[in-house]
Structure 1
Amino acid sequence: MTADDPGAKDHLHTYLQRAREALLWKLDGLSEYDVRRPMTPTATNLLGVVKHVASVEAGYLGDVFGRPFPDPLPWFADDAEPNADMWATADQSREELVGLYRRVWEHSDATVRELDLGATGEVPWWPPERRTVTLHRILVHMIAETERHAGHADIVREFIDGATGVRPDNSNLPEGDEQWWADYRAQVEDAARQAGGR
């Protein structure tokens, strides 16, 4: 697909929207604690991932094209503590951060509608030789960014309650009951041990 293909922008936008929805779906049915709890040594947590992706998208599909997102994002300020965008404080509700993400979508989608894929912008936080970008490049970048973090959310959610899948109607995994998965995991563990010489 190239920027001048008819429908290219719609295809890119569809992939971005699917990734956005997959990420938000990982919050469904969880308690306030579970959406916030750190599940890795680097404190990866579901609501923090949403907060981060919302903030990043506001920059790439807003500021980069001279269309700043109107809501303040204090966790991205120069004097914010490190990683402030990667977790939700106790007074930041799930509804607030999901609402922020949905407003970012609306703002970003307006950018996508109003500009051609060849429209240029500038990413001030990239090295000078790479700062000038097209909407096409930034859409690809945001798809990769969102999918990467949706993958993190997949793993975090599986650790929390075992839930897996891309969407409610598509697990994207083989059919198998609890015993099938236990046997499969044992098979993978056995292969790892053999390869590791144990």
Structure 2
Amino acid sequence: MAGNAEPHDNELDTLLAFLAQQRYVLKLTAYGLGEDQLRLRPTASELSIGGLIKHVNATEASWIDVVEGRERRQDPSSYTAGFTLRADESAAELLEDYEATGHRTDQVCRALGAVDAPVLMPDDPWFSGRREGYSLRWILAHLIAETARHTGHADIIRESIDGATAFPLMAAAEHWPPLDWMTPWTPPERSR
């Protein structure tokens, strides 16, 4: 997936492709990092790459719960904890869970079918007065925006960790040859 969402002829496939592309570039920010590096907070914020992936995964899963009419999993009182990759959570499990959430999103949205299908919102104050006025289209657009916003955060954190940026990481992950304008990322030499 070379940096762009695949083109499609219908709106649902297009929205799902853009969400998948944003998930992919967020996961790329973790490419080549060790467990400890995923927890690093090298900027002025409290964010880490592992914590961002954990948060975005939980957010997407929670919204798909809403689409299915289930109670939301996210507990607002644990919002800050949702940005922290705990010591007992591994990178492999984190990425595997995020992959599973993406598959679930695709299945649920395809089963619903129509992007203008109404979705009953939770009884939260920010949805008052419009609980039935949201659509699957709105939810997917919201998830794309949420994922893109946090991918930008993760890009900055990754560059602060080892200087890696999006296209060289993508080139390394996808095994591109060196180009005139860009060399695939390689792990920095470790001091001995």
How high is the TM-score relative to the length of structure 2? 0.76
Q: CA deviation at 1:163?
A: 0.6
Residue 109 in 1 paired to residue 111 in 2?
A: no
Q: Which residue of 2 aligns with 1:51?
A: 54
Match of 1:168 among 152, 167, 170: 170
Whichever of the two has the greater Rg, that structure is 1
1:41 aligned partner, one-letter code: A
The residue correspondences of 1:1-198 to structure 2 (distance < 5 A) are: 7-66=10-69, 76-77=74-75, 80=78, 82-115=79-112, 116-124=114-122, 125=124, 126-132=126-132, 133-166=134-167, 168-169=170-171, 175=181
Unaligned runs of 5+ in 2: 1-7, 175-179, 184-192
Q: 1:32/1:130 Cα in 2 relative to 1: closer, same or farther (>3 Å)?
A: same
Percent identity of paired positions between Structure 1 and Structure 2: 34
Q: Give the superposition deviation at 1:129.
A: 2.2
Give TM-score scaled by structure 1 length: 0.74
Please name the residue that 2:4 is paired with: none
Deviations 1:34-75 (A, max 9, x none): 111112333110000000000000111222331568xxx6xx
Any stretches of 5+ residues in structure 1 without a counterpart?
A: 178-198
Alignment length, in residue pairs? 165
For 1:97-153, what per-residue CA distance to the aligned partner results, in whole angstroms no more than 9, with x for missing partners?
112111111111111111111111123233312333100111111111111111111
Contact 2:67 2:136 in 1 (8 A): no
Runs of 4+ in structure 1 displaced over 4 angstroms? none
